[in-house]
Amino acid sequence: MLETKRRSWFVVIILTMLFLSACGSGGAGSSSDEGQSGKATIRFATWDSEENLTLQQGLVDKFNEAHPDIQVSLEAYGSEYDTKIAAGMGAKDAPDVMYMWNYPTYKDALEPLDSYLEKEGADFKNNYYETLWNYNSADGKVLGLPVGYTTHVVYYNKDLFDKANVPYPKSDWTWDDLQAAAKKLNNPDESISGFAFSGTPDPYDFEMFLWGNGTAYVDDSGKTQGSLNSQKSVDVLTMFQNMLKDGYAITTEGSGSTEMKSGKVAMFTNGAWSIGSLKEAGINFGIVELPSFKDGSAVSIVSSSGISMSKDSKNKDAAWEFIKFWTSEEANKARLDYELPVLKSVVESEKLQDDELKKVFYHMLEMSEGYTPASFKVENWSEMSEKLALVFEQIFNPSTLMDPKAVLDDAAE
Amino acid sequence: MEHAVKPHKRVRRWDKWTPYLFISPWIIGILLFTVGPLIFSLIMSFFDWPVTSSPKFIGLGNYTKMFTEDPQFYKSLLITLKFALFYVPLSLVTSLILAMLISQSVRGVKFFRTIFYLPAVVSGVAVSIIWGWIFNTKYGILNYALFLLGIEGPKWLIDPNSAIITIVIASAWGVGTMMLIFYTNIKSIPPDLYESASIDGAGPIRQFTHVTLPLITPTIFFNLITSTISALQQLTLVLLLTNGGPLKSTYFYGLFVYNNAFKHHKLGYASANAWFMFIIILLLTALIFKSSNAWVFYENEVKKERKKGGKKK
Amino acid sequence: MKLSSWHKIVVYILLIGFSIYFLFPFIWIVLTALKSEAEVHQYPITFFPSEFRFENFVNAWKAQPFGLYFMNSVTITVLTTLGQIISCSLIAYGFARYDFKFKNGLFILLLATMMIPWDVTMIPLYMQFNLFGWINTLKPLIVPAFFGSAYYVFLLRQFLMNVPKDLEHAAKIDGANDFQIYSRIFVPIMKAPLTLIAVLNMLSVWNDYLGPLIFLQDRMKYTLALGLASFKGVHELQILPIMAITIIMIIPPVIAFLYAQKYIVEGISGAIK
């Protein structure tokens, strides 16, 4: 009996070893072949989703071929990009090079690039649109090179305009014009809405409407009192709310592109992201600048994407080499299909100022010079943003539709 | 534990270690993969850690902030508890009904069994997208269908009152796992028990309450505990479907912690939040566990009690 | 056992009623996957596609190295399922069939590990795996399964607690040692719940998105779930490929389930008798 007992424990041990070797081989079979002698490996993280990804992989391969001493590997994380980057930074294992837009939040983990830029000479920096540098810096330091950008514009459904016999909007139009058009286009019997805007707008984006009316979330010292609840701010939100109350505009549950794709929304505002998907959805649409406010102007927020270097990167020179490649004319041109180039020389050589759709975004960019989003002015933007998001919901949600002045006064406290 | 036959001495020395040897994989695993991160997160809850830079010690700061300065903490806690109170019984009852249904011997039951299980197989990303579409107030299929029937559908994900119901409907969709657990247990009940019950003249309902129910108390207990835990930690669906809205009506505690960690980058604070919830769940589980002596019956304990003259454990 | 006809009618009404609720979103996914991009968003809604576009599936599959992702998913799923079955049956057996010092304390600890929120342990876990050199390998997704998971151990223990105690007494008298009792008597008894665990584990690992997201880097090591998620960008999502890949991903777990059903139906009862 003793012997059988011993034998069975032997079996247990063998089994245990088997599990371990099984998972060992499972891991080993798939473990990477990195650490090749002498090669600097660069991890490069992107938030772009498929289609564009194939193109980006092609660019990366091209770079690797041209640089035998550097090996760049592309990592794609889709919509959970921020979670992954935050986890990596927390564990001090962030990618060497990464796409970036929210600089104030990540600034402490990013390498300032001013000294690198200096070495490249002034012309290098001047080739970018100036406004974009503001959006790729924090605390006066450049933390990323601009890769792409978008301003916000009005998309309109040409078919619906034709059917209602309404002339297409022109670039110098006003909010009054938009409202008049929306009223004419609106047709409840056919579920057609004249205008759509997000019922839960991203506060970062929405500030542009306040700018247009000559105000902002915060003043230069970062205080909300007197800015967020100024009469001008109240006017903007009242205007949007009235469009809902009058029934010719709807709020959307997402950005609005889903609703626009249904072909039943005449106008909505968004960045350049919708161009591709609206085309695929077969919508016959046009693009026009944002309307301006009566005593103000038309200003857009810039949603910029940049490329940054991790402070903890072990191969900073190689990383910079790759960043330069990724922002080069060649790369800008390669991404032309889905991204608006940020280099003046490329815009010129590709004649984008003559492109019926794309020129609107560049025009909007010129009109939006000199504004700094609140996210760059206040310390705790993410919390403030959450508060503002609730404010907008209270004003726009059909079950509350609260008085803008009261809500804004309350929020500015 | 008393053995009927005592093995001789050299083996007995080993016997003491036998149970530990059986559970040793788990003990090794917990030492390797759990203890470290757990202690780390507890320590972090006493620090201010903005992820991108080094942590700063602030003592109980995170905890005092949570209890005294953050109204969202209480709101999220309340919403989550309400959800759990509503969802846990609902999902238990639904999955039990489903499990009973698929264990009936009727034609085509195998087909229905697969259908009921199917939703649990669909990946979370697609589930949230599809529900978001179906429930879209203006252009969604559900309200369109209601419109064709001449009914004006509710503003599903826009109205705070219906949003929580929407979440319940969407999360109950994945109840297949619980159903399967019940089902496995129901199938393990010896058929002769039913036969003798039916000879005694018990109808289907009496058979259920007198035979099935008592015999599946261990899995009811299991499903109760695990669904309580998952209801209190519910995150994926609200994160992808409502993102806490409308008007923060679905801003569950799980989302509160997640946002503090990955949106506001306050990992120390998020750790404090998480530890508080951890303790709440632990207490709740302990409570359910305590109560289980009264209503959960294990076959091997019943036997033991009988033998030892009803000794309580 | 004969069922009365009214009983049958009630059962069928309930079965069909629940089926609508469970099937509808699923059917909607399938129909969407077969439409054209324009038709997907059209309003008034067209229920059936005007043209069944099966090429959507091919296009989606070709958009990323899904063959590779599939292999990675299979590797992880098979190995973790193996690991869970072996480790959990041992651990649950230990907890359910023995009395020992600290048993209750250890069991509460086991349950407690189910309650740990991943948000805050994720980063330290990342650091630890990084220390092991396991980041960007499949190891963090596989190895822990060989040390059991609280959920399955608990589930299995509940089943084992329901097996009469006489069983091992009889075997002990016959001279079997502890491991033999486990392997020869209890493993066969556990066939149904172990199958259940295999099915459940397969499902959760197959669809797990967060683990691969955090621990993998190189695209060649991605899993299907991670590949699926990368169709969803920050601003726009590609609806057709998402729905198509979702449907493809459903197939292996459903086949496994259909296959496993018969072991679950056999139940414990057969084994004991």
Give the β-pairing of A40-46 and A70-76.
Answer: parallel
Statement to judge: residues A99 and A169 lie in one domain: no
Q: Would you give the DSSP letter of residue A174?
A: B
The secondary structure element, H or E, covering residue A147 is strand A145-151
Statement to judge: residues A316 and A292 lie in one domain: no
Statement to judge: residues A143 and A182 lie in one domain: no
Nearest to A327 by CA among A299, A351, A306: A306
Distance from CA of A318 to the nearest CA of B (A): 23
Statement to judge: residues A261 and A395 lie in one domain: yes
- Within a domain: A65: yes
Residue owning tokens 């608990």: C154
For the cut 80, the answer to whether the pLDDT of residue A267 exceeds it is: yes
Q: Is C62 exposed, middle or buried (0-12, 13-18, 19+ CB in 10 A)?
A: exposed
Instruction: Give the pLDDT band (50/70/90) at residue A219.
Output: very high
**Tokens at B136, concatenated:** 């879209």
Distance separating the N- and C-terminal Cα atoms of chain A:
81
**Tokens at B222, concatenated:** 């299991």
Statement to judge: residues A125 and A158 lie in one domain: no
Q: Taking a contact as any Cβ pair under 8 Å apart, which residues of chain C between 184 and 203 contact chain A?
A: none
Pairwise CB contact (< 8 Å): B52 & A109: yes
Q: Which domain holds residue A101?
A: 2-149+304-342
pLDDT on residue C150: 94
Chain C CB within 8 Å of residue A258 CB: yes
Nearest to B203 by CA among C15, C16, C19, C10: C10
Q: In B173-215, where does DSSP find H-type helix?
A: 176-187, 191-199, 204-207, 213-215
For each of the domains in chain C, give its residue range(s) and CATH number, in order of start. 1-53 (no CATH), 57-272 (1.10.3720.10)
Give the β-pairing of A137-138 and A141-142.
Answer: antiparallel
Pairwise CB contact (< 8 Å): A253 & B137: yes
- Give me the residue from C134, C135, C236 closest to A257, CB to CB: C236
Contact criterion met (CB below 8 Å) for A46 and A78: no
Among A44-53, A126-135, A315-324, C140-149, the range scoring the smallest mean pLDDT is A44-53
Pairwise CB contact (< 8 Å): C207 & B281: no
Average pLDDT, chain A: 89
- Within a domain: A184: yes
The residues, any chain, with a CB within 8 Å of residue A215's CB and separated by 6 or more, are: A227, A230, A232, A233, A236
Give the β-pairing of A97-100 and A40-46.
Answer: parallel
Strands (E), A219-327: 249-252, 267-270, 285-288, 302-309
Statement to judge: residues A109 and A227 lie in one domain: no
User: What is the distance between the alpha carbons of residues A258 and C32, in angstroms, rounded to a whole number?
Assistant: 14
Pairwise CB contact (< 8 Å): A5 & B261: no
Instruction: Please name the fold of domain B72-122+174-312.
Output: MetI-like fold (1.10.3720)
Statement to judge: residues A9 and A113 lie in one domain: yes
Strands (E), A47-140: 70-76, 97-100, 137-138
Statement to judge: residues A110 and A171 lie in one domain: no
- Within a domain: A366: no
Nearest CA in chain A to B140: A259
Pairwise CB contact (< 8 Å): A257 & C83: no
User: What is the distance between the alpha carbons of residues A265 and A185, in angstroms, rounded to a whole number?
Assistant: 9
CA B130 to chain centre: 23
For the cut 90, the answer to whether the pLDDT of residue C216 exceeds it is: yes
Instruction: Give the pLDDT band (50/70/90) at residue C7.
Output: confident
The secondary structure element, H or E, covering residue A368 is none
Contact criterion met (CB below 8 Å) for C162 and B218: yes
* Number of domains chain A is built from: 2
Nearest CA in chain B to A384: B264
pLDDT on residue A67: 94
Statement to judge: residues A159 and A42 lie in one domain: no
Nearest to C224 by CA among C233, C238, C235, C213: C213
- Within a domain: A347: no
Contact criterion met (CB below 8 Å) for A213 and A296: yes
CA A389 to chain centre: 17
User: What is the distance between the alpha carbons of residues A373 and C176, in angstroms, rounded to a whole number?
Assistant: 76
Give me the tens of pLDDT residue by residue for chain B, a chain 313 residues long: 444 444 444 455 667 788 999 999 999 999 999 999 999 999 999 999 988 888 999 999 999 999 999 999 999 999 999 999 999 999 999 999 999 999 888 888 888 998 999 888 888 877 888 888 889 888 888 998 898 898 888 988 899 988 988 998 888 888 999 999 999 999 888 888 888 888 888 888 888 998 899 989 999 999 999 999 999 988 888 888 888 889 999 999 999 999 999 889 999 999 999 999 999 999 999 899 889 888 898 877 654 444 443 333 3
The secondary structure element, H or E, covering residue A146 is strand A145-151
- Within a domain: A202: yes
Pairwise CB contact (< 8 Å): A397 & B158: yes
pLDDT on residue A35: 46
Chain B residue numbers with beta carbons less than 8 Å from the beta carbon of C93 are: 22
pLDDT on residue B178: 93
User: What is the distance between the alpha carbons of residues B63 and A223, in angstroms, rounded to a whole number?
Assistant: 28
Statement to judge: residues A263 and A396 lie in one domain: yes
CA C160 to chain centre: 21
User: What is the distance between the alpha carbons of residues B157 and B168, in angstroms, rounded to a whole number?
Assistant: 12
- Give me the residue from A47, A91, A263 closest to C130, CB to CB: A91
Instruction: Give the pLDDT band (50/70/90) at residue C101.
Output: confident
**Tokens at B32, concatenated:** 């390797």
The pair phi, psi for residue A193, each rounded to 5°, is -105, 140
pLDDT on residue B85: 93
**Tokens at A242, concatenated:** 């009235």
- Within a domain: A233: yes
Chain A CB within 8 Å of residue B76 CB: no
Nearest to B27 by CA among C94, C205, C122: C94
Q: Which chains touch C (3 or more CB pairs under 8 A)?
A: A, B
- Within a domain: A350: no
- Coil, strand or helix at A172: coil
Distance separating the N- and C-terminal Cα atoms of chain C:
20
Cis peptide before B246 (omega within 30 of 0): yes
CATH of the domain at A57: 3.40.190.10
Pairwise CB contact (< 8 Å): C94 & B22: yes
Statement to judge: residues A294 and A211 lie in one domain: yes
CA B192 to chain centre: 33
Q: Which residue has the higher pLDDT, C68 or B8?
A: C68
